[in-house]
Amino acid sequence: MSAWTAERLRSLCLSLPSSVERFPFAPGLSVFFVAEKMFALSDLDGRPPAVSLKCDPEHSLFLRDTYPAVTAGYHLNKRHWNTVVLDGSLPDDLVVDLVRESYDLVVAGLPKHRRARLGDSSAQ
pLDDT digits over 60-100, tens only? Answer: 999 999 999 999 987 787 888 999 999 999 999 999 999 99
Q: What is the pTM of this model?
A: 0.89
Which domains occur in the chain, in start order? 6-112 (3.90.1150.30)
**82: three-class secondary structure by DSSP:** strand
- The residues near 64 (Cβ < 8 Å, ≥ 6 apart) are 70, 71, 72, 82
**Measured torsion, CA atoms of residues 11, 16, 19, 21, in degrees rounded to the nearest 10:** -20
